[in-house]
Structures are given as structure tokens and as C-alpha cells.
Amino acid sequence: MRVTVMDTVKRTTQSLIAAMLAALLILLGTGGLAKRAAESTLLMQSRFARTVLAQDSMNPIRMVTEPQKLNVLLKFIGAVTTAYINFEMIPVNEAQTFVVLFESAGDDIAIESFAYHGKKLLVTGTAPTAEACERFRDALEDKRYFSSVALHQYTTTDDEIRFEMECA
């Protein structure tokens, strides 16, 4: 039987990985590893996505098959994850927050980002007209999910309407 350098490298790598896993098990125990996995960002994002898609008013097929809608969902999940990591004050039911925002925006509004700052959620994006921004704000106010909604908008040099919505 002939042993090549690659076989030796492969066995050494496998041995190192096994030793590292054994060390982790000894240091953290199986409960510690399970806790780390449960707290992982990817797992948290996956759970949140499932929660949003399970909301009664959401159409999960449209949400995951239409790239623009999926992109908005992923941006919101990113904002919630960042808020958790930074210990921001976020609503208990983030999925409902997303549904309220998503339904209120309609098809005219292009949401570009979400960010939590303290107890406020900032939503930025573009709209075809100033009236579309105002309809978005009015729809959020009508749902009475947020205690206050403040709209800041301006027109760019390219005649694009940009907005920032502050929801508290």
C-alpha cells in the first residue's frame, strides 16, 4: 500500500478537526454547543423569516418568488438581527411590524433599508411621487401600530423622491 502526501495531509486535517470538536465538547459540553447553535445569527434569521411568512396576511409564495419582495424581507431581517446584536429596543412581535410596514408600502414604495435606533425604526427608500410617500405614512398611521410616524422626504437632482420614515 502506497501512502501519498495528500493522504497524510487528509488524515492530519481530519485528526485536527476531530481534536478541535473534542476540545469544544469538553469545554462547553453538549448543552453549551446547543446553546451556541440556538443563538447563532443564521438560525435567528431563519426563525424570523419563517415567522413572517407564517403571518395570515402574507403570501409566502409571492414573498419568496418575487425578488423585490424577498429583498425587502431580507433587509428587515438584517435590521432585526443587528438590533438584537446591538441590544436595541425592538417590538416583541417583529413579524407583525414587518407585515404592517410591507402592507402599508404597497407597490409604489421601494424600501431600501431598515434600521432600529433606540425605540425607533427608520425606514428609507424611494417613491415615484411625494404623494406616494404621504400615502405610505397615512397608511401606517391608519393602522395605529406605531404611536408616531414622521416622514422626511426630498427630491434628488435626478427628480427621484427619497424618504426617511421614523416609526416609534
Contact yes or no for 116/79 (Cβ under 8 A): yes
Q: What is the pLDDT of residues 53-109, one digit of tens each?
A: 666 565 666 666 678 878 888 898 888 888 877 877 776 678 888 889 998 998 899
Q: For 71-167, which CATH superfamily applies?
A: General secretion pathway protein M, EpsM (3.30.1360.100)
Q: Residue 132: what residue type? A: A
The domain segmentation of the chain, as residue ranges, is: 71-167
Q: What is the pLDDT of residues 128-151, one digit of tens each?
A: 999 999 999 999 999 999 999 999
pLDDT of residue 33: 47
Helix axes 94-105, 130-143, angle to 10 degrees: 140
pTM surpassing 0.75? no
Strand partners, 114: 123
Instruction: In whole angstroms, give the CA distance from residue 92 to residue 115.
Output: 16
